[in-house]
Chains A and B, each alone.
Chain A
């Protein structure tokens, strides 16, 4: 399941987030071609202080190692940003990073 790289920086009340999730994002068709197991992220959920700040439903349409960028307000330095990934096998993975 995907490893993730998260970067979150707060400036003037706005938190800018960049995150990359390591995944082949191989859907069924691609997996058959490459003779590997179909495995892709189906859901990305980003939370800060218990509130949802990012949510996306994804599939094989996204590129390998998808990169997301977004910004939100309402969090300060030292707060924790949490990502929950769900893949097509139903497995979940969480990654945390403190906002700088």
Chain B
């Protein structure tokens, strides 16, 4: 994709070498420094000034951006479509309501495959409920203090009940990103229902009221939820004074974060410690000159295909397999991905069938739907293979 002009590079390198000294004076601003409390700083404390007193933890990229299209300013409508999050106080939550009971049904159909029954967690997928919500004398949830060290058998358990600070995030996250393979397919009422179910599984209370099966959650009630780990994060990023709070917090790094102390002696000087020499940083050797082929500006949708009759196998695939196999992001071979399926088929049809029926890796037996017969599975697998062949 990126074209590197090697002739230009060789010329450029000689030029660069000769002009290094000239540049050195010009780029005095680029000499990295360290945080103010220098004596205690370990090597990670290097800063890179940019301009107007702003500095970053990363080297400022001065590469040419010629040919790179940065787009245009977003229109008011685009911002409106993007600005859909809900704040902790409930601002931005849409209208709607859903009961725990409905959430239970939806959860079992769409979420339990990965997140486990009752939110108990699945192979590699986040646990949503459970974990001990008890706090220590400083108000810190005990389970979060578990260190992953040798000899420790307990890891910190980070669920909605023990770790999440705000419950409105549950609503926006489920609405925008879940179910994994086909997000944004749930209505607002359904999202409220699933949110209610997850809160109920965490045994949380709203206004002192337990969430039983008949409990109906809406925007007003969701904003009232106080999660156990509400004050477990720092610095405080809420409210209109958030920026000042954050700046004040990071201004005193030594106190609030800790600078660390050197644990070894006679280390090779990484440079930059005395503020004069430049730290040894690996720089970009070959500059990006051009983008080939150029970025496309066209925003057309893919051409629509004629919708033919849907076979029985495709219906079963839609119901039981599509959740994972529609995309390859779940680690499952995606339908339509010719190369992946070719490598899968090298195992032989029999092995693939056995894997589909008995499960393999992250895939549950029969895709988690035990109502399917072996013959059904065979039809589905054949459908998936045929749909992924080269045309």
Contact = CB atoms under 8 A, between A and B. Distances in A.
Interface of A: 3, 5, 7, 18, 20, 22, 30, 33-34, 65, 67, 69
Contacts of A69: 117
A16 B120 CA distance: 19
A67 B118 contact: yes
Contacts of B382: none
Interface in B85-114: 104
A33 B201 CA distance: 29
B130 interface: yes
B153 A30 contact: yes
22 contacts: A3-B203, A5-B118, A5-B201, A7-B104, A7-B118, A18-B117, A18-B118, A20-B117, A20-B118, A20-B120, A22-B130, A30-B153, A33-B153, A34-B153, A34-B154, A65-B120, A65-B130, A67-B116, A67-B117, A67-B118, A67-B120, A69-B117
Closest 3 CB pairs between A and B?
A: A20-B118, A5-B118, A18-B117
A33 B153 CA distance: 8
Residue of A3, A5, A7, A33 with highest tally of chain B CB at under 10 A:
A5
Given A5-B201, A22-B130, 7 more contacts: A7-B104, A18-B118, A20-B118, A20-B120, A30-B153, A67-B116, A67-B118
Nearest to A20: B118
B95 to A, nearest CB: 28
Contacts of A67: 116-118, 120
Interface residues of B, number: 10
Contacts of B130: 22, 65
A23 to B, nearest CB: 11
Interface in B129-155: 130, 153-154
A38 to B, nearest CB: 14
A56 B309 CA distance: 50
Contacts of A34: 153-154
Contacts of A65: 120, 130
Residue of B118, B130, B154 with highest tally of chain A CB at under 10 A:
B118
A30 B201 CA distance: 26
A67 B201 CA distance: 14
Residue of A20, A33, A34, A69 with highest tally of chain B CB at under 10 A:
A20
A69 B112 CA distance: 14
Nearest to A63: B120
Nearest to A98: B213
A74 B362 CA distance: 36
Contacts of B104: 7
A33 B152 CA distance: 8
Contacts of A7: 104, 118
A20 B154 CA distance: 20
Nearest to B132: A24
A65 to B, nearest CB: 6
Nearest to A24: B132
Contacts of A22: 130
Nearest to B200: A5
Contacts of A33: 153
A70 to B, nearest CB: 13
Nearest to A67: B117
